[in-house]
Amino acid sequence: MTRSLVGTPALFIPGPTNVPERVRSAIDIPMEDQRAPDLPEFTLPLFADLKKVFKTESGQVFLFPSSGTGGWEAAMTNTLSPGDKVLIASFGQFSHLWVDLCQRQGFDVEVVDVDWGEGVPVERFQEILAADTEHEIKAVLATHNETATGVTSDIAGVRGALDAAGHPAMLFVDGVSSIASIDFRMDEWGVDVAVSGSQKGFMLPAGLAIVCFSQKALKAAGSATSRRCYFDIADMIRTNKDGYFPYTPPMSLIRGLRASVDMLFEEGLENVFARHYRLAEAVRRAVSAWGLSLCATEPKWHSDTVSAIYLPEGVDSGAFVKYAYQQYGISYGVGLSKVAGRVFRIGHLGALNETMILSIIGATELVMRDFDVAFQTGSGVAAAVEYLHESNKNIRDIAA
Amino acid sequence: MTRSLVGTPALFIPGPTNVPERVRSAIDIPMEDQRAPDLPEFTLPLFADLKKVFKTESGQVFLFPSSGTGGWEAAMTNTLSPGDKVLIASFGQFSHLWVDLCQRQGFDVEVVDVDWGEGVPVERFQEILAADTEHEIKAVLATHNETATGVTSDIAGVRGALDAAGHPAMLFVDGVSSIASIDFRMDEWGVDVAVSGSQKGFMLPAGLAIVCFSQKALKAAGSATSRRCYFDIADMIRTNKDGYFPYTPPMSLIRGLRASVDMLFEEGLENVFARHYRLAEAVRRAVSAWGLSLCATEPKWHSDTVSAIYLPEGVDSGAFVKYAYQQYGISYGVGLSKVAGRVFRIGHLGALNETMILSIIGATELVMRDFDVAFQTGSGVAAAVEYLHESNKNIRDIAA
Amino acid sequence: MTRSLVGTPALFIPGPTNVPERVRSAIDIPMEDQRAPDLPEFTLPLFADLKKVFKTESGQVFLFPSSGTGGWEAAMTNTLSPGDKVLIASFGQFSHLWVDLCQRQGFDVEVVDVDWGEGVPVERFQEILAADTEHEIKAVLATHNETATGVTSDIAGVRGALDAAGHPAMLFVDGVSSIASIDFRMDEWGVDVAVSGSQKGFMLPAGLAIVCFSQKALKAAGSATSRRCYFDIADMIRTNKDGYFPYTPPMSLIRGLRASVDMLFEEGLENVFARHYRLAEAVRRAVSAWGLSLCATEPKWHSDTVSAIYLPEGVDSGAFVKYAYQQYGISYGVGLSKVAGRVFRIGHLGALNETMILSIIGATELVMRDFDVAFQTGSGVAAAVEYLHESNKNIRDIAA
Amino acid sequence: MTRSLVGTPALFIPGPTNVPERVRSAIDIPMEDQRAPDLPEFTLPLFADLKKVFKTESGQVFLFPSSGTGGWEAAMTNTLSPGDKVLIASFGQFSHLWVDLCQRQGFDVEVVDVDWGEGVPVERFQEILAADTEHEIKAVLATHNETATGVTSDIAGVRGALDAAGHPAMLFVDGVSSIASIDFRMDEWGVDVAVSGSQKGFMLPAGLAIVCFSQKALKAAGSATSRRCYFDIADMIRTNKDGYFPYTPPMSLIRGLRASVDMLFEEGLENVFARHYRLAEAVRRAVSAWGLSLCATEPKWHSDTVSAIYLPEGVDSGAFVKYAYQQYGISYGVGLSKVAGRVFRIGHLGALNETMILSIIGATELVMRDFDVAFQTGSGVAAAVEYLHESNKNIRDIAA
């Protein structure tokens, strides 16, 4: 099968991300009783701490055993009724799938198509909202970080659009590949439902949707008639308040989540965000030095969690990704849908550091060299090293 | 908090069950790319082998990142339309919750209430089905093993009732706490959807619903109008056929599932069932020797995966369970709903052997002694030892 | 091969003992640099804490990558010169092996042979020491707990004999299967070298000898001419003081040792000893109820870490142990040397609790029943349950 | 303490090396009975397979719970008597320590001092051996790979020197940092004792010396009068033949060794050696591109397991190594003894692949940049990438 079975595989997909040893240890435990008398001593502080990750005081966080897709379903079905109108922009595979979910759940979806490589069109949204004088739009949906294109959108801007239009619609954010990696402010930005997942910035295996509802969204659940049971927050609210769950929770993941949140707090959320920016920028410098371009069309769209990189004309990015995996044990993200065959993606989120980022930049040079991609060997690493060197004041201090 | 933090806790809840070391090792791995080129070499044989666990040749197995409750939702929403009539008996907490789910999903639920301690009323079902000459009932729902009361129902009998009535309704089975522990025969019994979960007989952590659809059920999905997206088997069918998933799968659990299925096959499914019977019977002999009685009213209802045991009048089973946990690190199942405070439950499913069963019988004697429950000390272990000794022909052969 | 591969094997040998999950987690880590700048922050407090386990203030603890046998060699070669006379009693396989080691290292060994089932003959020692007016005896060697016979000796008594005789010999103690399980007092008892190992009361895998030297023993090293290099404490002293080691240390075990020591302190050493006594006594009550007898001839020799139990005449204990392993996955200690074929041993040390002890008592009843050993089924568990119930005041308080 | 606690630390010391996941899983197991009836089914094939790693048919491999230093002691004390003359060259910290051990064990050591950066002086050895017409030299000691300087010696050459001189002395080889990484041929080169350790090419934690004796060496044990007990092969021979050990073996490491040997065989020993050469050469190309030089003075001394690299005058390699650890979580080998402060070492042995090697080359560029070491940024990675690209025929085939 693959040749390079030896050594540690290099996992640079935009999720699942590398699980830190400490989190692995926290997960790899014997089973426990999900109805144990002392479980609330564990769960209640965890629920409280998760709110800090979302930067909310009034919101409530729910943990569903599901993927992020289930988180979307929880967001939509708990707050809306079939036929309700929602506004969303489609500019990548994941925003596209969200549209699809809304349609299948029976909502009236107003889709704004945007070129892949750009993000939520704030001004266009504002126009639409301003025009919606009847307030038929019940929710505005925004993909914070489009994982397929490496594009980060301006959620504060969307909030601004709602406010400028004086529109009462709820604001839902897909933060699956942003929250805990890129700054996210539930309360400040007036977000009503934020959806995240375990396998990205939370550095856990897949299997847990982490969803935060504002008080407004919680209230909306009272009148939402979408049929729901598994994802019904009512059952969660009733049992979570005592520290339990309505059905068997995936306790090993939840134990791991405790370790993950501890690690985020020990590093400091702002430091986590700064680290993600710095490592992402190192990758971008390398891409630029190689003479390649990103899918994200402008710096304002640059994602600090994933870079989608165009290979030169004539190079099949699917073959490139497959070769890297088989030859060197490297996992890149493939190009999806509209950019299939053209981009490959480097996920740079989660438990990463300088050495790891330099490993994927260096290894990408080797893969490109094998694939006869024209570039100056060493140039990407050189650019990344120079940037990492210059950007880190602490380094210079210590070295002095 | 608890006193006995030392040593291995004794986990005898009816799920999650004890995860074997081999399964733990299979789960505790670095993350991997769920779109890797060689993933199908792993997933396709696993899907094929899972069919053998359900004893089906024509069915198809799906893996949803969810609890068993999600499995129910997948079963119902993929095959039925709102307003469709379903027939179900309620005789315990879990059959009750299934009723609830059906109602919330908008089905017309005909509930037959049965005393807790009994199972699916086959004759009553047959009468109802025979009377339904218009075939308004689209599905008959049967809880194979009611975890709350330790009652196993006769699924072959339900199939017989359907056949005797010449009724075309689909047959859905909740096998969460039976499949892979108690004999289950998808094809032979004409089951259309069978729902199981990772954390019982499959000896894995919670987080995976394992659901099997017959060809008839798969076909029903074509016309079922229940709104669904996360649990839509259409997405699964489209991607699973190539060995992939429609959204990020919980690969660590799925890797563990491979180990679990390997273990089931190496022991042999029939041997697994025989072992469960034998260990369950040892518990029942002990219960009888103690002078206590089971919630299951007759031997035909005896469950080989969980025993719900009545404590004498005046002994609060909730306090009993809490005490055992805090004093000795023992986890029993509590009494739920109608039998709260009256029964405690010993789960005896999954990766158990004679020594482990004797540990919980012996330890239960200690807990009862501390709680001033009147019984002959040693009698339960004596009865279990005698039974285990007598029942095992191999033992006598070897000892000879 | 073995039949009962299913479920958790029952490990009741007198070492290696069951490794707690927390210790396993501490061990299962990526490798690290044994010369890292921050290693002393870890090692120096560990060395200090280990002294507390030995109950010494002035002594020094060394960690050798070796078995306990290596610990003996370190004790002897660092403090004595070839031809030096040592006094030791032989009353079991392990005291016998210590004699052998002394002879092979060239010492003049005065061996007092004692019946197996008894311990160090304090009065006889006192006579010999009193008679040694020339003080030719340089060291008195005492096996604190003879693992082969389940006999614990009176180390304070040996110190008393030395003092009564006014003899300046050093006192060396083999505490491999006692320290961290049975009370041991380095300073109070005037012990000069105490040898322990990782795989007993320290609840770690085998691979580390943990040896404590008194100041007197450290001084003796200056003039001892036994050839030594690997086990030379001089190299350890020189490097340990800065937190490092003279050669590559087994850091994963040492990380585990930190967790182990933390657990011992959290439970409290005296509570650890009391727990060992209580669980050992439960086993002894069961043995007595079965009508069997211990190898230890009197209660004063009873070991709280291991019981060597005579099977009735005509029952081959070797076959009994082998059968238990193959049929039920139970590991007992076999009978060694003089008691081979006659005794089997239950190790009851390390991370054990009531449920675990009741499991081996119950399972032993099953094995005896299969082996046609005459006894009253259930009697052992009954005696143990009654004892555990009565002995624990806290239990009654809570139950009240 | 350290800043970069996030992400995977980069371990590039020359041992302990990175433990593969598969080996970690094999080690992280519950304890087992070292006297279990079925243990020989595991141990006997392992002993047989270990011989293949040493490339011997007639030799015998022993496993001592100890570091490699203990392996030396086993080699010397089992085959020689105090006063016996041995010939050895000293050209680095580890050959120096072997001299020290020999002296402390009472042998008559003829030391040939060689400049650090060179290896065993074959011609000088031949002269000495030829001059030793009385055959007073009983053993010739050769350090196959001097870990302190990154120098590999010519063991076949030493055998040639012995043969040319017609000298009957035994040939002992320290293969701690070579065996299982660099080609070693016990039988073909007429080696009599070869010493290795678990924590290098065997990819295990430290704690196991792996020592191979030829028939000639085994016979020498009969007359060797060095005092020994812990390291006495006689006890091992007596118990190993039945698959057991003379004292408690570190079974978790030995289980891990099985996995390690399996991995070596699956890759193929010759492929393992080729991979080590290739990755080492990539490092050497980078060193050269940076304008730095190796401690090894000539290509013939180049070690494929560790490179000792001189930093420019004025750069303190100790501070460099400490900074890399604290700032980036990188562990290099420090400069030892004569080259302390001047060299740092990159260990490139064990479970490594291209991506990992490129990570340390890239990261070293960052550290050097921070430290104001003059070099062309990117040049090392470029040279390594070009070499890795050119050297791998398979790559080009696949890419075509």
pLDDT digits (tens, 9 = 90+) for D175-202: 999 999 999 999 999 999 999 999 999 9
D212 and D272 in a single domain? The answer is no
**Model pLDDT for residues D114-165, shown as the tens digit of each residue:** 999 999 999 999 999 999 999 999 999 999 999 999 999 999 999 999 999 9
Contact of D17 with D200, CB cutoff 8 Å: yes
Domain that holds residue A36: 21-266
Locate all alpha helices (DSSP H) within A80-185, ordered by sequence: 93-104, 122-131, 155-165
pLDDT (0 to 100) of residue D392:
79
Chain D, nearest residue to C98 by Cα: D229
Q: Cβ contacts of residue C92 below 8 Å, gap of 6+?
A: C116, C143, C146, C147, C148, C149, C151, C336
Taking one residue from A and the other from D, the number of pairs with CB-CB distance under 8 angstroms is 171
Q: Are residues C167 and C305 in the same domain?
A: no
The share of chain A scoring above pLDDT 70, in percent, equals 97
User: Which of A21, A28, A29 faces C29 most closely, judged by CB atoms?
Assistant: A21
Residue pair C324/D36 in contact (Cβ under 8 Å)? The answer is no
Residues C121 and C148 in one domain: yes
The predicted pLDDT at position C394 comes to 59
Q: What is the CATH number of the domain that holds B337?
A: 3.90.1150.10
Interface check for C1 against chain B (CB to CB < 8 A): the answer is no
In the predicted structure, residue A186 carries a pLDDT above the cut 90: yes
pLDDT at A1 over 50: no
For residue D16, say if its preceding peptide bond is cis, omega within 30 degrees of 0: yes
- Domain termination residue (choose one: D221, D239, D266): D266
Name the residue of chain D whose CA is nearest to C23's CA. Answer: D28
Contact by Cβ (8 Å): D92, D149: yes
Does D213 share its domain with D175? yes
Same domain (yes/no): D58, D94: yes
Burial B318-329 (b: 16+ CB within 10 A, else e): eebbbbbbbbbb
Reported as a pLDDT band with limits 50, 70 and 90, residue A206 is: very high
3-state secondary structure (DSSP) of residue A153: coil
Does residue D212 sit in the same domain as residue D279?
no
* Distance, CA of A192 to CA of A174 (rounded, Å): 11
Which residues on B lie below 8 Å from D28 (Cβ)?
25
Among D8, D25, D27, D28, the strongest candidate for a mutation testing the B interface, having the largest count of B CBs within 10 A, is: D25
CB contact (8 A) between residue D5 and residue A361? no
The reply to whether B245 falls in a domain is yes
Q: pTM for this structure?
A: 0.97
* CA distances in angstroms from C78 to C216, C236, D73, D84, listed in the order given: 12, 12, 16, 23
Q: Which residue out of A21, A22, A23, A25 would a mutagenesis test of the C interface target, given it has the greatest number of C Cβ atoms within 10 Å?
A: A25
Q: Is residue D44 in a domain? A: yes
Chain B residues touching C355 at Cβ < 8 A: 7-8, 10, 328-330, 359-360, 362-363
The first and second tokens of residue A375, run together, are 């570039």
Q: Give the pLDDT band (50/70/90) at residue A399.
A: very low
The minimum CA-CA distance between A128 and chain D, rounded to whole Å, is 44
Residue contact A323–D399, C-beta within 8 A: yes
Would you say residue D4 lies in a domain? no
According to the model, what pLDDT value does residue D2 have? 41
C134 token code pair = 């020339």
Q: Which residue has the tokens 């299939």?
A: A340
What are the chain C neighbours of B371 within 8 Å (beta carbons)? 399
Contacts of A351 in chain D (CB under 8 A): 6-8
Distance from CA of A353 to the nearest CA of B (A): 17
**Chain A contacts in chain B segment 165-204 (CB below 8 A):** 197, 199
CA gap D226, D77 in Å, rounded: 5
- Do the Cβ atoms of D49 and D181 come closer than 8 Å? no
The subunits that touch chain D, with at least 3 C-beta pairs less than 8 Å apart, are: A, B, C
Q: Is A3 a domain residue?
A: no
Taking a contact as any Cβ pair under 8 Å apart, which residues of chain B between 43 and 102 contact chain A? 65-70, 72-73, 82, 100-101
For chain B, helix, strand, coil in percent to 5 are: 45, 15, 40
Query: Which residues of chain D carry a pLDDT beneath 50?
Result: 1-4, 396, 398-400
Sole residue written with tokens 């009847």: A134
Of A204, A239, A266, the residue at which a domain comes to its end is A266
Report chain B residues whose CB lies below 8 A from the CB of A254.
none
D106 touches chain C (CB under 8 A): yes
- The residues pairing with C293 across neighbouring beta strands, listed in sequence order, are C310
- Give the Cα separation of C250 and C247 in Å (integer): 10
- Residues in chain A with CB shorter than 8 Å from the CB of D2 are none
Selection from C70, C310, C245 nearest residue C174 by Cα: C70
Which residue(s) pair with D212 in the sheet?
D61, D194
User: C209-213 and C60-64 as β-strands: parallel, antiparallel, unpaired?
Assistant: antiparallel
Closest among C31, C35, C25 to D18, alpha carbons compared: C31
Compare CB distances from A248 to B37, B67, B322 and report the shortest one's residue: B67
Q: Is residue C246 within 8 angstroms of chain D, CB to CB? A: yes
A285/D366 Cα distance (integer angstroms) = 15
Within 10 angstroms of residue B230's Cβ, the number of other Cβ atoms is 30
Chain A neighbors of D6, CB-CB under 8 A: 20, 263, 267, 275, 351-353
Separation of CA A45 from chain center = 24
Whole-Å CA distances, B240 to A98, B48, B60, B227: 21, 11, 10, 21
B395 touching chain C per CB within 8 A? yes
Q: What is the pLDDT of residue C392?
A: 79
What pLDDT was estimated at residue C1? Answer: 35
Q: Which of residues 17-46 of D touch B (CB under 8 A)?
A: 21, 25, 28-30
* Same-domain check for residues B161 and B39: yes
For tokens 């969660």, name the residue. Answer: A236
A273 and A251 within one domain: no
Ranges of residues in chain C whose predicted pLDDT is under 50? 1-4, 395-400
* Nearest-CA distance B268 → chain C (Å): 12
Selection from C111, C185, C118 nearest residue C149 by Cα: C118
Residue among B5, B359, B398 whose CB faces C355 most closely: B359
Domain count, chain C: 2
Give me the half-sphere count of Cα atoms (radius 13 Å) on the Cβ side of residue D327. 26
Q: Is B234 exposed, middle or buried (0-12, 13-18, 19+ CB in 10 A)?
A: middle
Q: Please answer yes or no on whether B31 and A19 come within 8 Å at the CB atom.
A: yes
For the four alpha carbons of A384, A388, A389 and A391, in that order, the dihedral sign comes to: positive
Q: Where are the beta strands (DSSP E) in B105-231?
A: 108-113, 137-143, 145-146, 151-152, 170-174, 193-197, 208-213
Sign of CA dihedral C372, C374, C375, C377: positive
Stronger pLDDT, B244 or A397, i.e. the higher one: B244
> Does any CB of chain C come closer than 8 Å to the CB of residue D224?
no
Is the same domain home to D171 and D216? yes
Q: Is residue D2 part of a domain?
A: no
**CB of C271 less than 8 A from some CB of D:** no
Rg of chain B taking only CA atoms, in angstroms = 21
Statement to judge: residues A113 and A202 lie in one domain: yes
Residue of D nearest to C106 (CA): D227
> Torsion angle of alpha carbons C163, C167, C172, C173, nearest 10°?
-30
Give residue B342's region: left, alpha or beta (phi > 0; psi -120 to 50).
alpha
Q: Is residue B186 situated within a structural domain?
A: yes
Q: Which of B8, B24, B25, B355 to mutate to test the interface with D (most CBs of D within 10 A)?
A: B25
**pLDDT of amino acid C400:** 40
Closest CA to A196 of A187, A188, A186: A186
Per-residue pLDDT of chain B (400 residues; tens, 9 = 90+): 344 479 999 999 999 999 999 999 999 999 999 999 999 999 999 999 999 999 999 999 999 999 999 999 999 999 999 999 999 999 999 999 999 999 999 999 999 999 999 999 999 999 999 999 999 999 999 999 999 999 999 999 999 999 999 999 999 999 999 999 999 999 999 999 999 999 999 999 999 999 999 999 999 999 999 999 999 999 999 999 999 999 999 999 999 999 999 999 999 999 999 999 999 999 999 999 999 999 999 999 999 999 999 999 999 999 999 999 999 999 999 999 999 999 999 999 999 999 999 999 999 999 999 999 999 999 999 999 999 999 976 544 444 4
- Is residue A396 predicted with pLDDT exceeding 90? no
A315 touches chain D (CB under 8 A): no
Res D400: pLDDT: 40
Nearest-CA distance from C25 to chain A in Å?
6
CA distance C59 to C210: 13
Q: Which residues contact D357 (CB under 8 A, 6 or more apart)?
A: D279, D282, D283, D348, D384, D388
| Order of strands across the sheet that contains A293-294 | A293-294, A306-310, A343-347
Mean pLDDT across chain A, nearest whole number? 96
Chain B residues within 8 A of D21 when measuring between CB atoms: 29-30
The shortest CB-CB distance from A356 to any of D8, D275, D361 is to D8
Residue B103 contacts D where some CB pair is shorter than 8 Å = no
Per-residue pLDDT tens over the stretch D226-255: 999 999 999 999 999 999 999 999 999 999
- Mutate one of B4, B278, B359, B391 to test the C interface: name it (highest C CB count within 10 A): B359
Q: Do B251 and B371 sit in the same domain of this protein?
A: no
User: Does residue C318 share a domain with residue C336?
Assistant: yes
CB contact under 8 A, A28 and C25: yes
Model confidence band, residue A393 (pLDDT cutoffs 50, 70, 90): low
Interface size, chain B vs chain C, as Cβ–Cβ contacts under 8 Å: 171
What is the greatest pairwise CA distance in chain B? 64
Q: What is the CATH number of the domain that holds A99?
A: 3.40.640.10
Against chain C, the chains showing at least 3 CB pairs within 8 Å are A, B, D
- Residue C1 in any domain: the answer is no
Contact across the interface for D18 and C31, Cβ inside 8 Å: yes
How close B129 gets to chain C, by Cα (Å)? 43
The 8-class DSSP code of residue D302 comes to B
The token pair at A114 is 């945007």
Instruction: Evaluate whether C380 touches C286 at the Cβ level (below 8 Å).
Output: yes
Q: What is the pLDDT of residue B393?
A: 65
Task: Provide mean pLDDT across the span A24-36.
Answer: 97
Q: How far is C248 from chain D (nearest CA, A)?
A: 6
Q: How far apart are CA C1 and CA B399, in angstroms?
A: 15
Of D266, D297, D326, the domain-final residue: D266
pLDDT, residue B394, reads 59
Residue keyed to tokens 């070298």: C193
Chain B residues with CB-CB distance to D25 below 8 A: 25, 28
Residue B1 lies in a domain: no
Name the β-bridge partners of D142: D173
D358/A355 CB distance under 8 A: no
Question: Nearest residue on chain D to C14, judged by CA atoms?
Answer: D33
For residue C370, the SS3 value is helix
